[in-house]
């Protein structure tokens, strides 16, 4: 059984109707940030979740942890339905499911010391007495590459990379099994980014952790994930083992995403797919396949009918009407 | 890897201490703080420093001029009022009323305002609607008229003045707290606390409040000056502290009738009000510059 | 190709609370006509400050303390602020990373483009009506050039009505209105999604070829440089540490920092292998001793590295600031 199983998860936000809309009696607008997403994460693996800004990947991560209450669907963690848990049990569950945030500045309370920030889960869950908490916190801090002597410092006394280490320590201190990494390296400089990635991989190996790794950076996802899920406008368009998705992407969106990444050294092996236009607004998503407005392969059916997710290889599936025709944007552009 | 952590430790002081140091560097602000401290000291030690009994009347000293003027007596340095009471002693005792009422009102109002503002900003929904509407309604009344009405209803008395002023004053910190809370509650560290299993109590008191306290303190200080003026206005109108207790507002009022022949009766308590309010305003301005990051460069 | 921009020993300093920060310390560089120079560095490397110095836009408490900046034969440091203003926008244009804050939210796109033309273009016709239609025609042309559909209607819209990628294009269009000889693009794609990023970069490359202007592309992304730049200049802690033809530098970096930077980029091809991050972090720029600035993080550092290292020749058209560059050949 998978450690985490997400079934048909949706998160919709009611948009505020403008005065004009209200006067003309229009209905409330609905932002479908996450729309019927299903995915599974196996124990000990890294599932990379990739997508552009506004595709709902961060919302999905937060809905799984119930930081944003899901509108619909189920999240089952280690056999327990998280979506149905009452508050006290949910609190207990939070020890086992953690999150690392993108912004190393906004995610640490500037008025609290490192000891207070990292030790918070111990206090909240009564995991350790005061003196023990300090010792545990110091140990975790050293585990992530900081020093115990820095316990009583404030966040502003650290650099971005060090702050991200503090955020990682906070997520680790309650011994979780599963961590949502929400763009943990996107705000960091290249050399620091590599340090944090190396640390996250090392921790995963040593502590047997499972990650849902959210990123917009295909290089990062491709480097560290075991499996990949590609998200577009609130839906998963393709999932599969990292090698299959990267080497043989089947959804035209995945193909265009891969071809857009600038490469170093090797002269571009693949052609470049030029996508037309911008990401449509999730307030007013196109009907049918949501990608059809930008898809060079779109046909009449794509404009009206949402494609079903189909298996295209071992553990590899995609949602596109034109899968069978064996078309590839990359072929055409070569 | 620990090498990474050895470098760069900008300064081993908290944000608060750094702000405090900025504040201390401002000379005008420090002078204002000194003035405020003198007034507070005067209020506390009034019986020890007042040269005369503030309520002792003597019709032979009626409207006696200040010590340096002709017909003055240095035993009564700022002169006497229509009942022959020593003005300096009455100003010293009056400081007690002004400062006590100012502090009590602000303390009460800030406490209530923080509670209401945090609740409105954190829970939002109907809690916010109810609190915000009450705030809007209270803001709709002119302050002084509102206080006059309340005083007329409740009758005079020190406690009633405090209540009459606090009734409306809490909306000011409440609005500040609500706005700041709305902004801070969306920050990732609040979300992080929730992800760790923290409940609303912890989040409001430990995560949000410490981060919004600076603007609240700044606003409360500014408002304190305002409250002192309001108290003086109420006393001036005869709705404040009742005679014979000395209050700056009623002293100014007492002197009104003799303003031409005995200017000192109104002028000195008026100057006391001016000096204290000015000092508080300057200090709060500097406090804002030092503590509120939006005003610092 | 002749030299368009030549900066020599530029030093830009910021007086901060903690002390004097030399954000740019002895930077020399050349941009030739029509070429694309990539400037790579992490935050705090001085890559942006170098070019705000060239533009004469360093804000207080910063100031250009030393050096010469020759552009098209004139020393920009000797110009009055009046003369400098005439050059900015007309001969050298700069686009900012954050298009939303760099555009004026209260003016339409058309008005902002007109402003630049009115300020700089002496060839505009004198008559009011003729002038207006000329400006309009030119604005439509520029928006079309950067690939904005239906430019006539778009001219009347405000910045917030455009998406992030569109705003970046508009900023480029505004920068290009007076056909500058040099376009400085400061992190033009950092705030954008990959698919949009590719569009904008191709646009810049395309326009460069068509207008024959030189481009300086400031970025932290070596991948972007590899695909779009003729030459690359790597900066670290306020200094240039390596420069040369892009392909050569990326294939065989001669400075350990460049090498470390390349090795620390995660790539799908490196799956399962450990990436080698550069240890430690950028030194504090206050009170740096005159020695190799990278030595504390350098795996190849030796005692003799504790001296001020000059740029040394490292092959055809290449230089690197490392005493051990021969060992990296």
Q: Tell me the pLDDT tens digit for each residue of C35-70.
A: 999 999 888 888 999 999 998 888 878 888 889 999
Backbone angles phi, psi at A160, to 5 degrees: -55, -45
Every domain of chain B and the residues it spans: 39-291
CB-CB neighbors (< 8 A) of A69 in chain B: none
**In the structure encoding, which two tokens stand for residue A81, read together?**
């339905």
Query: Using a CB-CB distance cutoff of 8 angstroms, which residues of chain B are in contact with residue A195?
Result: 1, 4
Domain stops at, among A194, A222, A247: A247
Task: Quote the mean pLDDT of chain B.
Answer: 82
Q: Which two tokens stand for residue A26?
A: 């229009």
| Interface residue B10 vs chain C (CB under 8 A) | yes
State the angle between helix axes of B264-291 and B15-25 in degrees (0 to 180), rounded to the nearest 10.
140
State whether residue B7 sits within 8 Å of chain C by CB: yes
Torsion angles phi and psi, residue C30, rounded to 5: -130, 140
Inter-chain residue contact B2 with A65, CB threshold 8 Å: no
- Domain boundaries defined on chain C: 3-91+180-268+275-328
pLDDT for the residue numbered B264: 83
As a whole number, mean pLDDT of residues C190-200 equals 77
Please give the full DSSP string across A3-21, using - where no structure is assigned: SEEEEEEEEEEEPPPPHHH
Give whole-number Cα distances, B163 to A103, B157, B243, B249, in Å.
45, 10, 20, 18
Cβ atoms A312, A250 nearer than 8 A: yes
Would you tell me which CATH number, out of the four given (3.40.718.10, 3.40.50.880, 3.90.1150.10, 1.10.3720.10), belongs to the domain B39-291? 1.10.3720.10
Instruction: Nearest chain B residue to C296 by CA: give it.
Output: B3
pLDDT block averages, 10 residues each, chain A of length 334: 91 70 64 89 94 87 92 92 90 92 88 91 87 91 90 87 93 93 89 90 93 92 94 93 91 88 61 70 80 86 88 91 74 48
Residue A291's domain spans which residues? 248-334
Q: Is the peptide bond before A77 cis (omega within 30 degrees of 0)?
A: no
Rounded-to-integer distance, Cα A118 and Cα A139, Å: 11
Tens-digit pLDDT profile for residues C119-148: 877 777 778 888 888 888 888 888 887 778
In the prediction, which pLDDT does B9 show?
A: 37
pLDDT at B286: 82
Confidence grade of residue B120 (pLDDT, cut at 50, 70, 90): very high
Neighbours of C254 (CB within 10 A): 26
Domain membership flag for residue A95:
yes
List the strands of the sheet with C319-320, edge to edge: C92-95, C182-186, C214-219, C36-40, C231-236, C239-245, C319-320, C312-313
Tell me the sheet residues that pair with A235. Answer: A232
pLDDT score of C255:
93
Q: Within 13 Å, how many C-alpha atoms sit on residue A212's CB side?
A: 29
Q: Any alpha helices (H) in B63-124, and if so which ranges?
A: 87-123
Specify whether A80 is located in the same domain as A194: yes
Q: Is the predicted pLDDT of residue B296 greater than 70, yes or no?
A: no
Report pLDDT digits (tens) over C66-100: 899 999 888 888 888 888 888 888 889 888 877 77
Q: What angle do CA B81, B83, B85 make, to 5 degrees?
A: 60
In this structure, are A219 and A274 located in the same domain?
no
DSSP letters for C71-134: ETTEEGGGS-HHHHHHHBTTTEEEE-S-HHHHS-TTS-HHHHHHHHHHHH-TTS-SSHHHHHHH
Q: Give the C-alpha separation, B281 to A164, whole Å.
A: 41
Residues B182 and C282: their CA atoms lie apart, in Å, by: 36
Whether residues A192 and A89 fall in one domain: yes
At B7 the pLDDT is 33
Structure tokens at B118: 């945090």
Query: Do C277 and A189 make contact, defined as CB atoms within 8 angstroms?
Result: no
Residue A21 lies in a domain: no
Name the superfamily (CATH) of residues C3-91+180-268+275-328: P-loop containing nucleotide triphosphate hydrolases (3.40.50.300)
Q: How many residues does chain C have?
A: 329
User: Is A239 inside a domain boundary?
Assistant: yes
Tell whether ipTM is more than 0.90: no
- Distance between CA atoms of residues C220 and C278, nearest Å: 15
Q: Which of A186, A218, A264 to mutate to test the interface with C (most CBs of C within 10 A)?
A: A264
Split at pLDDT 50, 70, 90, the class of C183 is very high
The contacts of residue B265 (CB under 8 Å, 6+ apart) are B63, B79, B81, B82, B87, B251, B254, B255, B258, B259
Computed over every residue of chain C, the mean pLDDT equals: 86
Subunit contact A272:C198, Cβ cutoff 8 A:
yes
CB B235 within 8 A of CB B253: yes
What does the DSSP 8-state code read for residue C286? B
Please write the tens of the pLDDT for every residue from C250-296: 989 999 999 998 888 888 778 778 788 888 878 888 877 788 889 88
3-state secondary structure B162-179: HHHHHHHHCHHHHHHHHH
Calculate what percentage of chain C has a pLDDT beyond 90. 25
Query: Using a CB-CB distance cutoff of 8 angstroms, which residues of chain A are in contact with residue B202?
Result: 124
**Is residue A161 domain-resident?**
no
pLDDT score, position A9: 93
* Mean pLDDT on C104-108: 85
CB A76 within 8 A of CB A242: no
Question: Which of these three, A223, A247, A271, is where a domain ends?
Answer: A247
Residue B213 reports pLDDT greater than 70: yes
User: What's the mean pLDDT in C148-173?
Assistant: 83
Q: Which is nearest to C33 in space by CA: C6, C8, C7, C3?
A: C3
Give A216 or B25, the one with higher predicted confidence. A216
Q: Which residues contact A205 (CB under 8 A, 6 or more apart)?
A: none
Q: How confident is the model at residue B5 (pLDDT cuts 50, 70, 90)?
A: very low
Asked if A101 and B192 count as a contact pair (C-beta separation under 8 A), the reply is yes
Instruction: Report the SS3 class of residue A200.
Output: helix
At A42, which CATH number? 3.40.50.300
Residue A70 within any structural domain of the chain: yes
Cβ pair B211:A109 closer than 8 A: yes
Domain shared by A192 and A321, yes or no: no
> A115-124, B97-106, B252-261: lowest mean pLDDT where?
B252-261
Give how far C223 is from chain B: nearest CA, Å.
26
Residue B138 has pLDDT above 70, yes or no: yes
SS3 assignment for C250-271: HHCCCCHHHHHHHHCCCCHHHC
Torsion of CA A272, A275, A278, A280, to 10 degrees: -130
Can you tell me whether residue A56 is helix, strand or coil?
Answer: coil
Distance CA C239, CA C320 (A): 11
Cα separation of C261 and C273, whole Å?
16
Strand-pair partners of A39: A6
- Highest-scoring range by mean pLDDT, A233-247, B78-92, B230-244: A233-247
Chain C touching partners, 3 or more CB pairs below 8 A: A, B
Query: Cβ–Cβ of C193/A53 closer than 8 Å?
Result: yes
Residue C50 to residue C26: CA distance in whole angstroms: 10
Of A121, A125, A145, the CB nearest to B2: A145
Which residues have a Cβ under 8 Å from the Cβ of B180 and sit 6 or more positions away? B117, B121, B211, B212, B215, B216
Domain count, chain A: 2
Contact B7 C279 (CB under 8 A): no
CA-wise closest residue to A236 among A189, A306, A286, A300: A306
Looking at A200, A217, A247, the residue that finishes a domain is A247
Report the pLDDT averaged over residues B146-172.
85
A22 touching B (Cβ < 8 Å): no
Does this model's pTM top 0.90? no
DSSP character at residue A47: E
- Cβ neighbours of C19 in B, within 8 Å: none
Cα-atom radius of gyration of chain A, to the nearest Å?
21
- Taking 3-state DSSP, the helix, strand and coil percentages for chain C, each rounded to the nearest 5, stand at 40, 25, 40
Residues A87 and A9 in one domain: yes
What confidence score (pLDDT) does residue B252 get?
84
Average pLDDT value for residue range C188-200: 78
Q: Which residue of C has its CA nearest to B3?
A: C280
For residue B285, give the DSSP letter: H
Task: Report the range of poorest mean pLDDT among A44-58, B2-16, B103-117, B250-264.
Answer: B2-16
């Amino acid at each position: 059984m998978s450690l985490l199983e997400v079934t048909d998860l949706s998160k919709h936000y009611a948009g505020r109707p403008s005065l004009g809309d209200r006067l003309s009696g229009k209905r409330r607008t609905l932002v479908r940030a996450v729309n019927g997403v299903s995915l599974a994460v196996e124990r000990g693996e890294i599932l990379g979740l990739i997508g552009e800004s506004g595709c709902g990947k961060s919302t999905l991560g937060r809905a799984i942890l119930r930081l944003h209450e899901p509108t619909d669907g189920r999240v089952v963690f280690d056999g327990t339905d998280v979506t149905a848990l009452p508050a006290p049990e949910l609190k207990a569950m939070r020890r086992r499911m953690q999150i690392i945030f993108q912004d190393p500045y906004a995610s640490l309370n500037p008025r609290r010391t490192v000891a207070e920030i990292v030790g918070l889960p111990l206090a909240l869950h009564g995991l350790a007495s005061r003196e023990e908490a300090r010792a545990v916190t110091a140990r975790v801090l050293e585990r992530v590459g900081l020093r115990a002597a820095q316990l009583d410092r404030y966040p502003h006394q650290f650099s971005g990379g060090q702050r991200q280490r503090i955020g990682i320590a906070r997520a680790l201190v309650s011994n979780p099994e599963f961590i949502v990494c929400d763009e943990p390296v996107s705000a960091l400089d290249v050399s620091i980014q590599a340090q944090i990635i190396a640390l996250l991989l090392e921790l995963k190996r040593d502590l047997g952790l499972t990650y849902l790794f959210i990123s917009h950076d295909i290089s990062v996802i491709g480097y560290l994930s075991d499996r990949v899920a590609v998200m577009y406008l609130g839906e998963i368009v393709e999932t599969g083992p990292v090698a299959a998705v990267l080497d043989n992407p089947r959804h035209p969106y995945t193909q265009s995403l891969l071809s857009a990444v600038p490469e170093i050294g090797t002269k571009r092996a693949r052609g470049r797919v030029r996508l037309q236009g911008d990401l449509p607004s999730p307030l007013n998503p196109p009907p049918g396949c949501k990608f059809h407005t930008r898809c060079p392969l779109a046909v009449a059916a794509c404009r009206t009918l949402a494609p079903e997710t189909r298996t295209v290889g071992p553990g590899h599936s995609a949602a596109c009407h034109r899968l069978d025709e064996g078309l590839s944007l990359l072929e055409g552009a070569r | 890897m620990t090498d990474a952590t050895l470098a760069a430790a900008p300064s081993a002081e908290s944000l608060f201490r750094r702000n405090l140091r900025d504040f201390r560097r401002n000379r005008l602000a420090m002078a204002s703080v000194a003035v405020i401290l003198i007034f507070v000291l005067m209020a506390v030690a009034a019986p020890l420093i007042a040269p005369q009994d503030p309520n002792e009347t003597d019709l032979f000293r009626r409207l006696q001029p200040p010590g340096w003027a002709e017909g003055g007596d240095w035993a009564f340095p700022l002169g006497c009022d229509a009942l022959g009471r020593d003005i300096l002693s009455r100003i010293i005792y009056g400081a007690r009323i002004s400062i006590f009422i100012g502090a009590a009102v602000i303390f009460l109002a800030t406490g209530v305002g923080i509670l209401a503002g945090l609740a409105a900003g954190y829970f939002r929904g109907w809690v916010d609607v109810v609190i915000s509407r009450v705030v809007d309604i209270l803001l709709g009344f002119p302050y002084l008229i509102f206080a006059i009405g309340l005083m007329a209803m409740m009758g005079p008395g020190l406690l009633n003045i405090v209540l009459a002023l606090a009734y409306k004053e809490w909306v000011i910190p409440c609005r500040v707290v609500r706005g700041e809370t709305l902004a801070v509650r969306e920050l990732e560290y609040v979300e992080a606390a929730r992800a760790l299993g923290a409940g609303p109590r912890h989040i409001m008191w430990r995560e949000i409040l410490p981060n919004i306290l600076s603007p609240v303190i700044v606003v409360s200080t500014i408002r304190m000056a305002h409250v002192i003026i309001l108290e003086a206005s109420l006393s001036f109108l005869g709705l404040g502290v009742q005679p014979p207790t000395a209050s700056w507002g009623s002293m100014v009022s007492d002197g009104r009738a003799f303003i031409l022949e005995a200017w000192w009766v109104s002028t000195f308590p008026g100057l006391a009000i001016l000096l204290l309010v000015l000092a508080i305003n300057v200090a709060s301005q500097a406090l804002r510059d030092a503590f509120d990051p939006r005003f610092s460069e | 190709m002749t030299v368009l921009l030549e900066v020599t020993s530029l030093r830009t300093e910021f007086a901060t609370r903690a002390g004097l920060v030399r954000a740019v310390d002895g930077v020399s560089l050349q941009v030739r006509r029509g070429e694309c120079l990539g400037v790579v560095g992490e935050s705090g490397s001085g890559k942006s400050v170098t070019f705000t110095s060239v533009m004469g836009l360093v804000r207080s408490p910063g100031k250009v303390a030393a050096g010469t900046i020759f552009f098209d034969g004139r020393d920009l440091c000797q110009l009055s602020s009046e003369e400098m203003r005439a050059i900015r926008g007309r001969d050298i244009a700069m686009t900012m990373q954050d298009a939303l804050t760099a555009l004026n939210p209260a003016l339409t796109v058309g008005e902002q483009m007109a402003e630049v033309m009115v300020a700089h273009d002496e060839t505009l016709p004198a008559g009011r009506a003729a002038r207006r239609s000329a400006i309009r025609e030119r604005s439509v042309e520029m928006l079309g050039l950067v690939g904005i559909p239906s430019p006539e209607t778009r001219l009347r819209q405000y910045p917030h009505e455009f998406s992030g990628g569109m705003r970046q294009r508009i900023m480029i269009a505004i920068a290009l209105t007076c056909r500058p000889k040099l376009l400085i693009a400061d992190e033009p794609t950092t705030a954008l999604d990959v698919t949009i990023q590719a569009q904008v970069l191709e646009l810049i490359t395309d326009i460069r070829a068509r207008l024959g202007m030189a481009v300086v592309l400031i970025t932290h992304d070596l991948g972007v440089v590899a695909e779009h730049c003729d030459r690359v200049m790597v900066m670290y802690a306020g200094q240039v540490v390596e420069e040369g033809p892009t392909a050569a530098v990326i294939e065989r970096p001669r400075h350990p920092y460049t090498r470390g930077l390349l090795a620390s980029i995660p790539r799908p091809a490196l799956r399962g292998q450990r990436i080698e991050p550069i240890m430690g972090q950028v030194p504090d720029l206050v009170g740096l001793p005159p020695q190799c600035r990278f030595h504390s993080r350098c795996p190849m550092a030796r005692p003799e590295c504790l001296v001020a290292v000059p740029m040394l020749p490292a092959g055809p058209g290449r230089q690197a600031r490392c005493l051990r560059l021969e060992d990296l050949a």
